[in-house]
């Protein structure tokens, strides 16, 4: 296997998104030229935090479009996406979408632009491995289609689950992974297996040519350099909220403690 690296938690913004042309890692305009020998991309190099906010803008824009909105100001869009408007304007300037002064952004054009940058103008086939409680809930969720994805294949190692039909798909045995990934042109996979199985599943996915993994299992995966891994862990998110709750309670207790 090539050089290994570990996964990033979803929402982590420490790493610049990889791309060759356009902007530097901190989001400032770069020299615009790929390094010698580096693969060139027509897409701008974006800070990872900007990439993470683009889907929020897209979601808000679709809501506006569904409501009949043609034009939106940066303040309206920022509020709908839950970010501050200066940050939004900076993010959109990376896409060369500056809007029209006094008018705002054309909703349809901005949707097209963001979908293009995120690579959503082609529907992406996703494999889901581990069809237990969580996997079945994910497989049955109908909302991925409108966001640019469809779950194209379900896998499990449990022979009693193989053949079950979920959301119109038949659960396949994990041994069929290579064949199905090739025929369905799958580059993205979701892991919803127990933690003890997740690394072996990740290795098998990488061996089949999968280059992006969304990991729900509570463990760190080791993958080659060319593979992107994002981790979702609701328990970690709750622990972070717990910290804030804990801190709030100590702040309100402080004046009494002093007096």
Ligand X SMILES: NC(=O)c1ccc[n+]([C@@H]2O[C@H](COP(=O)([O-])OP(=O)(O)OC[C@H]3O[C@@H](n4cnc5c(N)ncnc54)[C@H](O)[C@@H]3O)[C@@H](O)[C@H]2O)c1
Annotated binding site: 130-135
Q: At what angle do helices 74-81 and 85-94 cross, to 10 degrees?
A: 100
# residues contacting ligand X (CB under 6 A): 26
Q: Which is nearer to ligand X, 157 or 208 (CB)?
A: 157
Under rule CB under 6 A, residue 232 binds ligand X? yes
Among residues 82, 234, 247, 254, which is the contact residue for ligand X, using CB under 6 A? 234
The residue range among 32-40, 74-82, 106-114, 228-236 that interacts with ligand X, by the rule CB under 6 A, is 228-236
Under rule CB under 6 A, residue 203 binds ligand X? no
Among residues 22, 161, 180, 189, which is the contact residue for ligand X, using CB under 6 A? 161
Under rule CB under 6 A, residue 156 binds ligand X? yes
Please state the φ and ψ torsions of residue 62, each to the nearest 5 degrees: -65, -40
Under rule CB under 6 A, residue 201 binds ligand X? yes
CA–CA dist 183, 197 (Å, integer): 24
Among residues 75, 112, 158, 225, which is the contact residue for ligand X, using CB under 6 A? 158
3-state SS of the chain? CCCEEECEECCCCCCCCCCCCCECCCCCECCCCCCCCCCCCCCCCCCHHHHHHHHHHHHHHHHHHHCCCCEECHHHHHHHHCCCHHHHHHHHHHCCCCCECCCEEEHHHHHHHHHHHHCCCCCEEEEEECCCHHHHHHHHCCCCHHHCEEEEEEEECCCCCCCCEECCEEEEEHHHHHHHHHHCCCCEEEECCCHHHHHHHHHHHHHHCCCEEEECCCCCCEEECCCEEEECCHHHHHHHHHHHHHHHHHHHHHHHHHC
Q: CB of residue 207 vs ligand X: minimum separation in angstroms? A: 14
Q: CB of residue 147 vs ligand X: minimum separation in angstroms? A: 19
The neighbouring-strand residues paired with 215 are 191, 231
Q: Which is nearer to ligand X, 44 or 130 (CB)?
A: 130
The residue range among 91-99, 111-119, 162-170, 191-199 that interacts with ligand X, by the rule CB under 6 A, is 191-199
The mark string for 119-148 relative to ligand X (x by CB under 6 A, - otherwise) is ----------xxxxxxx-------------
Q: CB of residue 238 vs ligand X: minimum separation in angstroms? A: 9
Among residues 155, 162, 180, 190, which is the contact residue for ligand X, using CB under 6 A? 155
The residue range among 58-66, 146-154, 178-186, 190-198 that interacts with ligand X, by the rule CB under 6 A, is 190-198
Residues that bind ligand X (CB under 6 A): 129-135, 155-158, 161, 174, 192-195, 197, 200-201, 216-218, 232-234
């Amino acid at each position: 296997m090539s050089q290994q690296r570990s996964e990033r938690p979803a929402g982590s913004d420490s790493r610049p998104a990889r791309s060759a042309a356009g902007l530097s890692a901190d989001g400032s305009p770069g020299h615009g030229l790929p390094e010698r020998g580096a693969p060139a991309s027509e897409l701008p190099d974006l800070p990872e935090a900007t990439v993470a906010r683009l889907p929020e803008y897209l979601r808000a824009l679709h809501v506006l479009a569904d409501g009949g909105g043609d034009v939106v100001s940066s303040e309206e869009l920022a509020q709908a996406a839950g970010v501050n408007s200066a940050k939004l304007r900076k993010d959109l300037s990376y896409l060369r979408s500056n809007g029209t002064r006094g008018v705002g952004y054309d909703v349809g054009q901005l949707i097209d632009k963001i979908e293009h940058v995120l690579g959503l103008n082609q529907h992406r086939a996703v494999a889901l491995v581990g069809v237990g409680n969580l996997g079945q809930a994910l497989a049955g969720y109908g909302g991925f289609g409108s966001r640019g994805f469809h779950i194209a294949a379900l896998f499990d190692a449990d022979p009693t689950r193989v053949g079950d039909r979920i959301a119109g798909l038949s659960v396949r045995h994990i041994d069929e992974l290579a064949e199905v990934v090739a025929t369905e042109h799958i580059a993205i996979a979701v892991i919803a297996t127990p933690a003890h199985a997740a690394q072996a599943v990740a290795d098998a996915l990488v061996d089949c040519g999968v280059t992006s993994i969304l990991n729900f299992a509570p463990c760190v995966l080791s993958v080659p350099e060319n593979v992107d891994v994002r981790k979702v862990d609701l328990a970690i998110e709750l622990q972070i909220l717990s910290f804030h709750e804990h801190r709030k309670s100590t702040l309100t207790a402080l004046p009494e403690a002093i007096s």
